[in-house]
Amino acid sequence: MWGIGDKGYGRPSVGLAVERRRALRLTAVLFSFWGSEPTRIVARPRDQQVVLGSAARFTCRAECDRSLAHSFTVGWVKDGWLEIHPEDPRYQVDDGGGVLLIPSVNASDQGQYTCTARTHMDRVAASALLTVLDVPDAPWDVELSEQKERSVRLSWTAGSDHNSSITEFVVEFEESQWEPGRWRELQRVPGNQATADLALQGNIDYRFRVSAANAVGRGPPGRHSGRYATPAAAPDRNPEDIRIHGHVPQQMEISWEPLLPVEHNGPGLEYQVGYRRLGAGPWTEQLVKRHLLVVQDTPTFVPYEIRVRTLNAVGWGPEARVVTGYSGEDVPTAAPRGVGVEVLNASLLRVSWTPVPEETVRGHLGGYAVGPLGARCVLLHGGPVRGERYSLLFGGNRSHGALPGLAPYSEYSLTVNVFNSRGNGPLSDAVSFLTPEGVPAQVPVLTASNAQSDALSLVWGPPLEANGVLSGYLLRYQLG
């Protein structure tokens, strides 16, 4: 500006000189800024989806000109206005502000997080979204409609899915007679469906509730419906997993998986058990309340046809399917014949036999036992030495087997018998055999003494297992 007394024509006043100096300083600063690199974000924070209670971590890497490093800072703002302070215990800010950690995310943490890098000359920002995921809220407004004797329609309104689509709804029921207060799953429906047509048992006082599930997990159930009682009806099904046991001779035990109490459909549930010899004669039938029947005085191990049907005070269940089982087993009565042996080498034997007739097994064939391989006689020292006794089992309907691990140069005897779950049958006639000589065991000890320039005394002990008649020792040596 010009001085007032100069009226625009005189020399510049003192005020003009001051303005010129300010302008020169501003020009110098602007020149310095325009000649530097701008601040920039080289690694932007990324959007995240985090399950409630888990940790969220945002990373922001920024760079500035070296000449502006003294004023360079990195900070974070939530939703465009809430500044995050490193002292806030809910957050952790590390690496000069470039890392923001939320150790345990809650619903209020959802939003936009902005990383701002600034110097005293410029600033730059980048943002990312945090989405908090959780299990769905409980469904509400549960209603019953289309109520029939054995079915009802259940409808509801879904709660919030908390940013993860609902994949399915789980319908549960509770009844007041058998296990009041216990909720059990009844049906599952897709997540895009808000109704379920429920098939119901008879003679049950129901109430229902619904829960929703998404990729995070299953949410809490909503409020239950009112009570809905169905009338009594005949049983809908018969028992499954019918088992016939014959562990005791002249006896047959029939058992099955009983119906659940809620499957009775009415009072007075009983089971009608029918049995007869396979393909022969009329059915014998008995009514029982338990899920077990023991039939006495049956012939030994013969096939029976069995059926189990349900009955209650209203009527009969469906026709029962027929299963086959056997009466009680007893020990076998016959011994194998034609037992023969073939010595393959000093420690391996092949034994064969003729299987016993099927009717003499008197039970489910377990297999054949070979042995005991007892009274082993080592053919040394002028007399027999009793050896280890053991047997080998061969499962199924076999007629031969291999016996490994025999001792060389020894005498054995063996027998063969058949067995079932009740026990062993009689032994066959014993068969004796000899094993040939084998390689001796290693010399257990070797010592040297009286060493001279051209002589040496050696002493050793005999092998623990000669496996035959020793004919001599072979000495080997090498020069060091």
Answer with the one of 265, 296, 326 that is the final residue of a domain: 326
Residue 216 forms part of a structural domain: yes
- The reported pLDDT for the residue numbered 465 is 85
To 5 degrees, how large is the angle CA 237–CA 238–CA 243? Answer: 150
Unique residue bearing structure tokens 């897709």:
190
| Same domain as 344, residue 313 | no
pLDDT at 376: 53
**pLDDT at residue 406 in the model:** 87
Q: What is the CATH number of the domain that holds 46?
A: 2.60.40.10
Q: Based on the domain organization, do 161 and 105 belong to the same domain?
A: no
The torsion angle over the Cα atoms of residues 162, 212, 56 and 41, rounded to 10 degrees, is -50
- Same domain, residue pair 51 and 128: yes
Q: Are 123 and 117 in contact (CB under 8 A)?
A: yes
Q: What confidence tens digit (pLDDT) does each residue in 409-451 have?
A: 888 899 999 999 999 999 999 999 998 998 898 988 989 888 8
- Do 166 and 90 share a structural domain? no
Residues 126 and 159 in one domain: no
Q: Are residues 341 and 408 in the same domain?
A: yes
Dump pLDDT digits (tens) for 249-275. Answer: 999 999 999 999 999 999 999 999 999
Note whether residue 24 is domain-resident.
yes
* Residues contacting 436, CB < 8 A, separation 6+: 343, 345, 346, 408, 409
Q: Is residue 444 part of a domain?
A: no
On whether residue 8 sits in a domain, the answer given is: yes
Query: Is 449 part of a structural domain of the chain?
Result: no
The distance of Cα 480 from the centroid of its chain, to the nearest Å, equals 62
Amino acid identity for residue 45 in this structure: P
Q: Which of 189, 207, 229 is the last residue of a domain?
A: 229
In a domain, 355, yes or no: yes
Is residue 29 located within the same domain as residue 44?
no
Domain membership of residue 475 (yes or no) is: no
Query: 249 and 223: one domain?
Result: no
pLDDT, one tens digit for every residue, the chain (480 residues): 333 333 333 333 334 333 444 433 333 334 344 557 899 999 999 999 999 999 999 999 999 999 999 999 999 999 999 999 888 999 999 878 899 999 999 999 999 999 999 999 999 999 999 999 999 999 999 999 999 999 999 999 999 999 999 999 999 999 999 999 999 999 999 999 999 999 999 999 999 999 999 999 999 999 999 999 999 999 999 999 999 998 889 999 999 999 999 999 999 999 999 999 998 889 999 999 999 999 999 999 999 999 999 999 999 999 999 999 999 999 999 999 999 999 999 889 999 999 999 999 999 999 999 987 654 545 554 444 445 567 899 999 999 999 998 888 888 899 999 999 999 999 999 999 998 998 898 988 989 888 887 888 989 989 888 888 888 888 888 876
Task: Answer yes or no: do 72 and 116 share one domain.
Answer: yes
- Contact between residue 261 and residue 203 where contact means Cβ atoms under 8 Å apart: no
Question: Is residue 345 located within the same domain as residue 422?
Answer: yes
Q: Tell whether 151 and 101 lie within a shared domain.
A: no
Asked if residue 448 is part of any domain, the answer here is no
Q: Which residues constitute the domain of residue 70?
A: 40-133
Q: Provide the domain count of the chain.
A: 5
Do 46 and 128 belong to one domain?
yes
Could you say which of 201, 229, 257 is where a domain stops? 229
